[in-house]
Structure 1
């Protein structure tokens, strides 16, 4: 059994109550216990609200919701503000942890307690962050570093909404999530803020090992992206990369926040 009394588990949710149940059950099965569990809902309709109310009796969490859907930014802000522990473990409802995760979380927590310059630890990613150096205390982790003259525009993705551990003062240091805009833009502007303020990240090197990302046919992803941003067309890919290089660097260094 792993007890993380100083950690608030924050789970964001929207219309995927069965996925939420799978996540809560899997954390219980691998022996993870937290100082508190917050489920932040983005105005899900029935029957999800009633089902989550039933889950509360089994898994003992604080449920914060809103009468109408207000978007990812609002859901992240109100969820984080409902936490009270020194650290916040953020997981979206459609992820499932590997049995190895509790041990790696414990190590990451120890490293963050020992080094207060580390703002967050990332446990999952779709790709490796391009600017990192070995973490002296543990070969399973690396440290990101600030590279203002770095050529790869993916430098902005030092922050990510994917599963991570962060400090409770995160919103105070990097600002609140932008509200009233699409979810991918909300994440983008937090990436910009995190980079500008030189956020320091501990990155788990085997970044696909500790979580499975599951979207069932019954509860598909609610994030909608424009087809042009994901197209594999060769010409569109070149144009997209050039646009991102110019746009991201302009937002990083010239645009007023």
Structure 2
């Protein structure tokens, strides 16, 4: 699996980046401090400001990686596709630049990679989530298979796929299609989620998912994703409307709409 302690020669670390070079540095420093080595590290940039590009290029003094530049900002879908196209290793560890691995992730990554190596039906293994999946089946090593229950009223049942840190086969796009390059990041994640379900994807989630990654958005480099009132409001009426809307749009997209 790993040729040496901390070494993952079969794995490409793919990081998507946009205007948060200090966050990227923090991520790379965290992996280095725990002794991680990868077959390759790719930084896929989405047309960041020149000062961020300059800062990243200066990081070559400390880290070995390949920077994939963009002529212009083309959205997260384009950025992930560009990065995945450049991967040369059989497995891809995908992490966005605002995440940080925590102590103990080395063993968890080894176990997650082991699932892909041992189980040809497994498509990807997830290490982080905002919430527990509503229906799971314990698999091994602290991981559970995420199960889609079409009869459940919980809209979280659809989230078998997520852009959160995960390891996947580098042929992932061959099976589930490329990321949509014309939509907002939330919508491209939704499209991939539906494709994952329709193509009978098999995904696994680490049960203690809050223990191996942290998501950090500092005041100096806040999130570049803009959320609207509809997604952020805790108003009970808005929450109910949001739930009913998601029930309709999720079920319509999966059960009725031709993908």
Structure-2-length-normalised TM-score: 0.96
| Alpha-carbon distance in 2 for matches of 1:76, 1:134 | 30
Q: Counterparts of 1:199-238 in structure 2 under 5 Å? A: 199-238=201-240
Is residue 2:157 matched to residue 1:149? no
* CA-CA distance at 1:56 after TM superposition: 2.3
* CA-CA distance at 1:145 after TM superposition: 2.2
Q: Which residue of 2 aligns with 1:92?
A: 96
Q: Which residue of 2 aligns with 1:73?
A: 77
Q: Counterparts of 1:88-237 in structure 2 under 5 Å? A: 88-135=92-139, 137-138=140-141, 140-237=142-239
Q: Which residue of 1 aligns with 2:26?
A: 22
Q: Secondary structure at the match of 2:152?
A: coil
Deviations 1:118-160 (A, max 9, x none): 111110100011121111x33x111112333333221221100
* CA-CA distance at 1:9 after TM superposition: 0.3
| Alpha-carbon distance in 2 for matches of 1:167, 1:130 | 25
How many residue pairs end up in the alignment?
Answer: 255
Q: Unaligned regions of 5+ residues in structure 1, if any? A: none
Q: Secondary structure at the match of 2:62?
A: helix
Q: Secondary structure at the match of 1:9?
A: strand
* CA-CA distance at 1:76 after TM superposition: 0.6
Q: Which residue of 1 aligns with 2:48?
A: 44
* CA-CA distance at 1:67 after TM superposition: 1.3
Q: Which residue of 2 aligns with 1:31?
A: 35
Contact 1:153 / 1:245 at 8 angstroms: preserved in 2? yes
Q: Secondary structure at the match of 1:59?
A: coil
Q: Secondary structure at the match of 1:104?
A: helix
Contact 1:74 / 1:179 at 8 angstroms: preserved in 2? yes
Pick from 239, 247, 250 the counterpart of residue 241 of structure 2: 239
Q: Secondary structure at the match of 1:148?
A: coil
Pick from 245, 253, 256 the counterpart of residue 255 of structure 2: 253
Contact 2:14 / 2:43 at 8 angstroms: preserved in 1? yes
Q: Which residue of 2 aligns with 1:13?
A: 17
| Alpha-carbon distance in 2 for matches of 1:57, 1:253 | 51
Contact 2:148 / 2:158 at 8 angstroms: preserved in 1? no
* CA-CA distance at 1:57 after TM superposition: 3.3
Runs of 4+ in structure 1 deviating by more than 2 angstroms, as ranges, are 145-151
